[in-house]
Amino acid sequence: MTTTAFIFPGQGGQFAGQGKSWADRNASVRELFRLADDVTQRPVSRLCFEGPLEELSLTVNLQPAVLAVSLAGALLHLESGLVPSYAAGHSLGEFGALCLAGVLTEAETFSLVAKRAALMQKAAMQSPGVMAAILNLSDEALAGACELARAEGTVVMANFNTPGQTVISGTARAVAAAVRHAQALGGRAVSLPVSGAFHSPLMGECAALFADELGEMDFKPPKFPVVPNALGTPVSDPDDLKRLLSEQMTSPVLWFRSVKSLEAAGVDTWAECWPRPYLGSMVKKCLDPGRHASLTCPAR
């Protein structure tokens, strides 16, 4: 008997045409995209299916677009017979996981994500920042590099993705300084195509505003445990899920810990809710060597 975790991506893997082939052949997927358009009052389906990529990649458009495609992917996994025992999402993907688990309805989730996206885009314009992935460097060494760089401004370790891949986030000067220190220690840096310093203190004001939005929401008990980014272990209490989601904008994404906790829980099938393998490569790098794992995306 398999134990399956549905995993939902965040920003970064978008492409023009995402979800179009699914919508072309599946009426339930088309209805999901219509709901996304109606609730968000944005052209989510057009941007997903046609682009242009530059417009799709704007935070205010991209977050509801990624949510729509990932929920469509989850729907197709369910139709194929996969049954989730757990759900987890990377950053924005946590909303898809909560929706799948029944904590929020689809309409509630689209509404929340549209508000989150607008707040984050505004915050990125008011407090500009950048993010960079640091490869081949221990977290301890990277923490030291960030400490040295804080003379230039704000910089924090924002995404703990895999052993040897951690994302830093902050002001441009401070991140550049941290990159220089990391490179001097043997690390390699890759700039990320994002519009702000997500999962950092620079998101503090919009996080407080989003917490007010969350406070109005009724979180229902999940049908199965969800792994919040801010904790990295499965949670079933709806009040805890709401609190941890409120903390998510300024706290690091503990993806490595999330995967390891699901591995320890016996997960052996990872159902990625995206048209192309994206999170799966990170999952493979997190699992114990030799660990049997099935990673699957819905058929395109």
| One-character DSSP codes across 217-259 | --PPPPSS-EE-TTT-S-B--HHHHHHHHHHTTTS-B-HHHHH
Q: What pLDDT score was predicted for residue 78?
A: 97
**196 falls within a domain:** no
If asked whether residues 121 and 220 sit together in one domain, one would say: yes
Write the pLDDT tens digit of every residue in 46-65. Answer: 999 999 999 999 999 999 99
C-alpha distance from residue 202 to each of 151, 170, 244, 279, 290 (Å):
16, 7, 18, 26, 40
199 carries an active-site annotation: yes
Q: How many whole angstroms separate alpha carbon 47 and alpha carbon 16? A: 7
Q: What pLDDT score was predicted for residue 216?
A: 85
CATH code at 171?
3.30.70.250
In the set 77, 90, 181, 199, the catalytic residue is: 199
Q: What pLDDT score was predicted for residue 293?
A: 83
If asked whether residues 67 and 170 sit together in one domain, one would say: no
Q: How many whole angstroms separate alpha carbon 199 and alpha carbon 33? A: 28
181 carries an active-site annotation: no
Q: What pLDDT score was predicted for residue 253?
A: 97
Residues of the chain where predicted confidence (pLDDT) is lower than 70: none
CATH code at 208?
3.40.366.10
Q: How many whole angstroms separate alpha carbon 283 and alpha carbon 181? A: 28
If asked whether residues 225 and 112 sit together in one domain, one would say: yes
pTM of the predicted structure, to 2 decimals? 0.95
Q: How many whole angstroms separate alpha carbon 219 and alpha carbon 94? A: 14
**217 falls within a domain:** yes
Which helix (DSSP H) or strand (DSSP E) does residue 114 occupy? helix 106-126
If asked whether residues 16 and 58 sit together in one domain, one would say: yes
Q: How many whole angstroms separate alpha carbon 257 and alpha carbon 255? A: 5
Q: What pLDDT score was predicted for residue 17?
A: 96
Token reading at 146: 């960030």
Q: What pLDDT score was predicted for residue 85?
A: 98
Token reading at 268: 């052996």
If asked whether residues 25 and 59 sit together in one domain, one would say: yes
**205 falls within a domain:** yes
If asked whether residues 242 and 113 sit together in one domain, one would say: yes
If asked whether residues 48 and 99 sit together in one domain, one would say: yes
In the set 45, 57, 70, 91, the catalytic residue is: 91
Give the SS3 label for residue 141.
helix
